[in-house]
Structures are given as structure tokens and as C-alpha cells.
Chain A
Amino acid sequence: MRRRDRSTLMVLGGLLLLALLLVVIEQRTGLLRPLTGLILSPFKPAGDAAITGAASLASDAGIERDPAAMQERILDLESTIAELQVEIVSLREIQQDYDRLAQVADYLSENTDQALVTADVIARDTSSYLRWVIINRGARDGIRVGNPVINELGLVGQVEEIAANAAWVRLAIDPGSAVNAFTQKTRAEGTVIGLLQGGMQMTLIPQESLVEVGDMVLTSGLGGLFPANIVIGQVTSVRKQQAELFQTAEIRSIVAFNELDIVSVITDFTPIDTSIFDDVIEAESEGG
């Protein structure tokens, strides 16, 4: 074996070992993700600028140009229009932010047991097979792993990993997401999972439960991971087959997951009281 090949193999072996070590450390301790926040911090303003710039360019594309007489005057007017367009886009952004924040304030006044941290979405998952986003708030702002994430329209997802100044949020449409839910009108319970195709599906609905198209699906709060009664979506179709143990319903979310820019992380809420199960478990362990 040539010396060069040997050294390449040694580098490969060393780096491969290091990569696998990183995977193991990350899975076992979760210590690496906080460090990656350092890499993200310089990109926070750049991410905002990229998104705002793209929005401005998109809005300018619609300006009409008249090639008639008084070219100079028209050019002046066009330049004024362009400036105003930019201003309008900026004001619309401010108005939208205001509306969203007003809705967050409404939500907070209705849910006094909850604490919210509002954050901007700064990046999306680079993998084609995950539906995660990165937000610009982290452990320093009181966010913890497992915190639910919402916006003014309903459930967005759940915090999965955190750094000091950033958090990784698994969206409700991620194929690894699962949320306990119920239908508002008929009270049928099930689990809402994300689909890689986009959208969501409510599974594990008992056959005897009634599920209607158009019914709203809300978080049930069971398990204590999410507060109860957050809107997840609306039933668009139901599949019920006698041969199967459970029914399945397709859910359309009201949240535009591809256009998320501001979200709120619920850092504190009162979960459903499950202490009754502690007593049952205790009684069973004493009996057995």
C-alpha cells in the first residue's frame, strides 16, 4: 500500500471516528447543540435581512411602467412610487407584526397560566426529510427543550434542541411529530402526526368515535407536553374501515408552515393534572 493511500485511510479513519463520536455525544448528552449556537449568532441579522430583502424585491416586481411622453416626469414619479412601495411593504410588515403581537397579547390575557416568549424564525432545516426551523431565542430567554411553539393561528410545533441564543423547533408537520388531540365538536380523541408530503393526519381514533369533516382539531393536553385547546387544524376527510382497529382523519392546518416568521414559545403553563395516576400506580405497586 502506498504511503499516500495509507495516510488518506488514517485521516478517513480518524475523522470518521470523530464524526461517530460526535453523534454519540450529541445523542447521549446533548452538549454539542448549545455550542452550535455560537456558529448561528452572526447569521441572525443576515437571516432577517435576507428574508426582508426578498420580500421587498417581490413587492417591487408589480410596478407598471408607462413609456409615454414626459419621460423625466414619469421617471421621477416612478422613483417616488418605488420608494413608496418599499415604505408600504415596510409598513405592512410592521402592521402584520403588530396584529400578530396583539393576538399574542389577547392569547396571554385569555391564558393567564401561560408565559410566552416571541421569536423570529431565522433558518429552516437543510435536510429535505425533516421539517424543523431555527428560532432566534434560546436558553437565555427561558426556553427549554419540550416547550410548545404556537403562532396566532394555532400549534406550530415543539422545541427539540436549544442553545443559549437559538432553538431548534420540530414543526407539527414533521414526520416525527406526534401530538395528542381531540375533535372539538364530537370529542373524538387521537394522535396527530406530521406527514412528509405536507399536512397532518389524526390517527388512533377509536372506531366507535364520531369524526366529522370540518370539525376543528385541538390539543388534548394529555401527557402534559402541550396545553389543552390549542388549534391544530380542521378535518378534511375521514377513513373508517371495519377491518382496521382505528379510524384515520386527514387534517388541514391553518398555520402556513412555509411562511412562518414570528412564533411564540410557551415557556410555562399548567399541564393537565395527572397526579391521580400517581396514586393508581402507587396502589398497584403496593398491591402487587
Chain B
Amino acid sequence: MTLQYGIPLTLIAAFLQAAVVVPFWPLVGKPDLVPVIVLLWAAFDRREEGLVWAFIGGLFIDVFSGLPIGGSSALLMVIAVILGAVETRVYRSNTWFLLGSLGFGLLFFHLGQIALSIFFNGSAIPWRYTLLNITLPALLFDVILAAPLSWLLGLLYERTHPRGVKI
């Protein structure tokens, strides 16, 4: 288990999102650091580790948000399981497939967050505006961010999970 990396990484990412990205991001639609990190890890690791990262990352998202605590965890874990249905080596050998799958996963995450904000915050959501001006730009930035992050997290994953050698 790599929680010694997962907990600080997702906590720092959540803090950066709340204190730097959201206040200073100049464009419409903001990248979501934590979901990108935990879903990439879930794609690399089909076992429980991806799920635990999704659970913890979701909690940190909700600490810095008005959404109910545990809501984002549930969303991210479901997506992590779906991403984990594909063999890890498929993601590792085809970056476009990884980014595409991640994009779909993040779309599901955004739709889930909209549902949570309607249900728990009582938000009135103008769908056309929201999807075109918030969700789609955010997805674009997320996928762009995922490209270098997948390389970095891939290195971390290989370092923390050295391949076994059969003698």
C-alpha cells in the first residue's frame, strides 16, 4: 500500500486547488487536481490501492468544499472501479486510451458533483451554460494536465511497485 504517498499528495493537491488554482486561475473551467491524480493511480493499480486513494482524495475534496463529506469519495471510487476493469498494461501501452478513459471518468465525476450540488446545496443548474462553460473546459484542462501527470505518477508507481522477477 502506498498511502505514505497518497495521503500527502492528495492533501497538497486539494489545498493547492482551494488556495491557488480556484482564486488565481484566469480562464473559465478549472482543472481538478485531486480527481486527476487519484483516477490516474486507479488506472495504474487495479487492486485496492486505487480505491483507497479515491476514497482519501474524495474526502480531501469535500473538506475544502460545501459538498457533503463522503460524496466525492463515493463518486471517485465508483469511477476507479470502472477504470480498473481494463488491464493496466493497456493503459500503460496506449496513452491516448488512458487519457480518453480518464476523460470519460472525469465527465462522470463532474456530472456526479452537479447531482450532489443540486441535491444537497439546492443549486439551480442552468444545464447548457454549465456543460458548455464549466464542465467541458474543465475536462479539457484535466486531460491536458493528465498527460504530464501520467508520466510522473507512472514513474512513482514503478518505483513503489517494482516488478517481481521469477528465478
Contacts and interface: CB of A to CB of B under 8 A. Distances in A.
A11 interface: yes
A125 B67 CA distance: 9
A16 B61 contact: no
B61 A174 contact: no
Nearest to B74: A19
Interface residues of A, number: 49
B123 A176 contact: yes
Contacts of B125: 129, 175, 196
Interface in A31-47: 32-33, 36, 39-40, 43, 46-47
B113 A123 contact: no
Nearest to B35: A126
Given A7-B48, A134-B18, A197-B133, 19 more contacts: A8-B48, A8-B84, A15-B51, A15-B77, A19-B55, A19-B71, A19-B73, A20-B70, A23-B69, A23-B70, A32-B69, A39-B63, A47-B15, A128-B138, A130-B117, A175-B121, A176-B121, A176-B122, A196-B124
Interface of A: 4, 7-8, 11-12, 15-16, 18-23, 26-27, 32-33, 36, 39-40, 43, 46-47, 50-51, 54, 122-130, 132, 134, 160-161, 168, 170, 174-176, 193, 195-197, 258
Interface of B: 11, 14-15, 17-20, 22-24, 29-30, 32, 34, 46-48, 51-52, 55, 58-61, 63-71, 73-74, 77-78, 81, 84, 110, 113-114, 117, 120-126, 129-130, 133-135, 138
